[in-house]
Amino acid sequence: MTSPPHAPRLLHLPDEAATEALARQLAPLLDGRAGMPAGGRIHLSGDLGAGKTALARALLRACGVQGRIKSPSYALLESYKISSLYFYHFDFYRFSDPREWLDAGFRDLLRDDAVVLVEWPERAGDVLPPPDLLIALEYAGQGRDAGLTAYTARGQTWLNAINTPPST
């Protein structure tokens, strides 16, 4: 992965409500409501249980996804569509062979005009391009720390629009 242009922005998320508040800030930037072109790619890293799915689910919910939002840990991919916007939620924890990825045609889904959320991106090796934004989650007491790193101008614009700490 190319080196990011800026140091990570660190946020403390004391509870899941704070994670949801961060998701509510990001959602309008991703789905076009904030006036930017809809779409973008977010990588979610962190240990088992660090809160990757919780954040992805809160994001999808805040973008208007209704009904059950399953973790893609078994299926590798769950997808959604709201009006003309596609959402792809990947989890590469069980991913082993890059050919699996190519054969499945997943690369075609990494479009700039779709919202792509990837858990365990490091398991995909170097088949993934850098994201717009990397969110690295870590355990911090009862809560979590989130390190946000922009890899593109789009990701930097999102970072600039996020308040610290996310208001609940």
Ligand X SMILES: Nc1ncnc2c1ncn2[C@@H]1O[C@H](COP(=O)(O)OP(=O)(O)OP(=O)(O)O)[C@@H](O)[C@H]1O
Contact between 119 and 48 under an 8 Å Cβ cutoff? The reply is: no
19 scored as a contact of Mg ion (CB under 5 A): no
Q: Cα(94)–Cα(105) distance, rounded to whole angstroms?
A: 17
52 scored as a contact of Mg ion (CB under 5 A): yes
| Residue closer to ligand X, measured from CB, 50 or 134 | 50
Tell me the sheet residues that pair with 135: 44, 148
Region of residue 105 (left: phi > 0; alpha: psi -120 to 50; beta: else): left
Contact between 139 and 13 under an 8 Å Cβ cutoff? The reply is: no
122 scored as a contact of ligand X (CB under 6 A): no
Q: Cα(14)–Cα(92) distance, rounded to whole angstroms?
A: 27
Please give the distance of CA 2 from its chain centroid, rounded to a whole number.
18
Instruction: From 14-22, 70-78, 107-115, 128-136, give the range in contact with Mg ion by CB under 5 A.
Output: 70-78
In the complex, residue closest to Mg ion by CB:
53
30 contact choice in Mg ion, ligand X, none (CB below 5 to 8 Å, kind-dependent): none
Residue of 11, 19, 59, 117 interacting with ligand X (CB under 6 A):
19
Residue 7 contacts by C-beta under 8 Å, 6 or more apart in sequence? 149
In the complex, minimum distance from the CB of residue 77 to Mg ion, in angstroms, rounded to a whole number: 13
73 scored as a contact of ligand X (CB under 6 A): yes
CA angle 16, 155, 131 (to 5 degrees): 85
Residue of 53, 149, 154, 159 interacting with Mg ion (CB under 5 A):
53
49 scored as a contact of ligand X (CB under 6 A): yes
Q: Residues for the chain: how many in total?
A: 168
x/- site string to ligand X, residues 124 to 153, per CB under 6 A?
A: -------------------xx---------
Which residues are at the interface with ligand X (CB under 6 A)? Answer: 13, 15-16, 18-19, 46, 48-54, 73, 93, 119, 143-144
